[in-house]
Amino acid sequence: MTRRHVLGVLALTALAWAQDSAPKPYHDPGVRPRSYNAPDRDEPNPVGLKEVAIAFFGPPDGSDSIWQGAGLAIEEANRQGGYRDLPFRLIPAWAKDPWAGGVATLIRVVYIQNVWAIIGGIDGATTHLAEQVVPKALLTLINPAATDRSIHTAYVPWTFSCVPGDHVLAPLISRELKERGISFALLSATDHDSRAFVSALKSAFERDRLAPLLEIEFDPAAAETQKAAARIASSGAQAAVIVANAADSAALVKTARAAGFTGLILSGPLIARAAPDPALDGVLYPELGEIQPAFRAKFAARYGRDPDYAAAHAYDAAGIVVAAIRKAGLNRARIRDAVQALSPFQGVTGTIQWDDLGQNQRAVRLRRLSSER
């Protein structure tokens, strides 16, 4: 055996030893399904109720797709007899400033209206707010639209998400860029969900050994869209990754193209909530679920427009709550157990199957945005 071979064997032996002797946590809370252990399941169903109340942490806006999707599911459940002939009722809890008044309103609804579950919030920040309420109130929270993975890293066993998380969405963008072997610029907003997605995106870039040619973080409120788009267009990058809310993502795409950028554009999942526009056609984004045509037709007939992914997942969120209550009865701990046990749930967005932390682990893919939905 040559000296080189000996050194190679020693190096492999040292690597194996280092891996075997690496520190291991005494307890990893993320490797087993969440559970709630208490005697609350023995409590009988209440008597004298006139309705089964479900809280909705979001604006009860007749034009908001999340409210519409959840409301459509509740309407259908009531036509089917509700819960033992008691109607389900969706009770909104909201304020213009969710941080100042929204949580207080939600707490009042939870304790005064005697709700049995919560659907919400409308994004990652508001879902975090609702999550502060559920461990004390012992209520199941179903998040219909936020992809922020940190919602689940608090390991609250009452929280479930119908949409896949940023940790599985962001790698799709990184992998696409790596396979194409092209330079790219990263343009992101300063809001909570954008920063959460960019954090997952940078982790994916690190694993794939990628780095943006140019990185810009901008404040949409500061009217910096034109300036940021111009920098992207003049950067020489072959692709642009745009991460912002639906309206700002759409505005940035159109502004960048108007400024002369002709490269590939990729975006986070929120751009799928933007109004259909031919100017956005061709943008690649992580598709959260494929909406069933029958639901599209039903939603359009009820509200006069095509549903986005948030509406469809809100419909599924309400459907899961209704199914859990019908299965478990009016007992909060048993409702939580039933929500967990319903996985895999076949919804209008596809299969909803919880991972160990309660988030949908559905397989995802990149899709090209098209105004012809």
Domain end position, chosen among 257, 272, 287:
287
CB 120 within 8 A of CB 55: yes
Same domain as 197, residue 233: yes
CATH of the domain at 186: 3.40.50.2300
- Look at residue 14 and tell me if it is in a domain: no
- Look at residue 158 and tell me if it is in a domain: yes
Q: What is d(CA 360, CA 169) in angstroms, rounded to the nearest whole number? A: 12
* 3-class SS of residue 346: strand
Mean of pLDDT values over 35-59: 86
CB 134 within 8 A of CB 141: yes
H-helix segments, the chain: 3-21, 65-79, 103-112, 124-131, 134-137, 166-180, 192-208, 225-233, 246-258, 293-303, 309-328, 332-341
Same domain as 76, residue 215: no
Same domain as 313, residue 336: yes
CB 100 within 8 A of CB 106: no
- Look at residue 15 and tell me if it is in a domain: no
Q: Is the pLDDT of residue 243 over 90?
A: yes
Q: Which helix (H) or strand (E) holds 184?
A: strand 184-189
Contacts with 326 (C-beta within 8 Å, 6 or more apart), sequence order: 83
Same domain as 335, residue 277: no
% of residues, the chain, pLDDT over 70: 90
Same domain as 252, residue 106: no
Model confidence, pTM: 0.89
Task: Provide the edge-to-edge strand list for the sheet that holds 365-368.
Answer: 214-218, 184-189, 239-243, 264-267, 284-287, 365-368
CB 40 within 8 A of CB 332: yes
Average pLDDT, the chain: 89
What pLDDT is stored for residue 124 in this prediction? 94
Domain end position, chosen among 243, 267, 287:
287
- Look at residue 34 and tell me if it is in a domain: no
- Look at residue 310 and tell me if it is in a domain: yes
Length of the chain equals 373
pLDDT digit string, tens, across residues 279-336: 999 999 999 999 999 999 999 999 999 999 999 999 999 999 999 999 999 999 999 9
Domain residues for the domain of 330 are 39-164+291-364
- Look at residue 31 and tell me if it is in a domain: no
- Look at residue 1 and tell me if it is in a domain: no
